[in-house]
Amino acid sequence: MHTNPDLASRLVTIRKIENHMAAKAIKRKELTQALGVTYQTFERRMSGELPFTVDEIWKIARVLRARPSDILPDDVASDAAVAA
């Protein structure tokens, strides 16, 4: 099965977000409110149907008390570190 690299990257981000949420007992409602989006939009992002924006990644990281690089796929996070 051939996987779309963008979707695969989204799924890694989603898994990392879910892991941080579980570790810190943060509910989806809290992230939805922090992003200022509807629950439906948030669920579409968490299903991989829609990508998160850069701004949303920053807001999620803030709520999760993590760095944005902690919730991005490793290859994206390392590319961003090199660019900085």
> Who has greater pLDDT, 30 or 74?
30
Overall number of domains in the chain: 1
The dihedrals phi and psi of 74, each to the nearest 5 degrees, come to: -55, -40
pLDDT (tens digit per residue) in 30-54:
999 999 999 999 999 999 999 999 9
Q: Which residue has the higher pLDDT, 54 or 82?
A: 54
Q: Where residue 50 sits, what CATH number does that domain have?
A: 1.10.260.40
User: What mean pLDDT, rounded, does the chain reach?
Assistant: 88
Domain that holds residue 67: 5-83
- Residue found under tokens 């796929």: 73
DSSP 25: T
Query: Which residues lie closer than 8 Å to 43 by C-beta, 6 or more apart?
Result: 28
Q: What pLDDT is stored for residue 1 in this prediction?
A: 45
Question: Which pLDDT score, from 0 to 100, does residue 6 have?
Answer: 86
Task: Categorize the per-residue pLDDT at 2 as very low, low, confident or very high, splitting at 50, 70 and 90.
Answer: very low
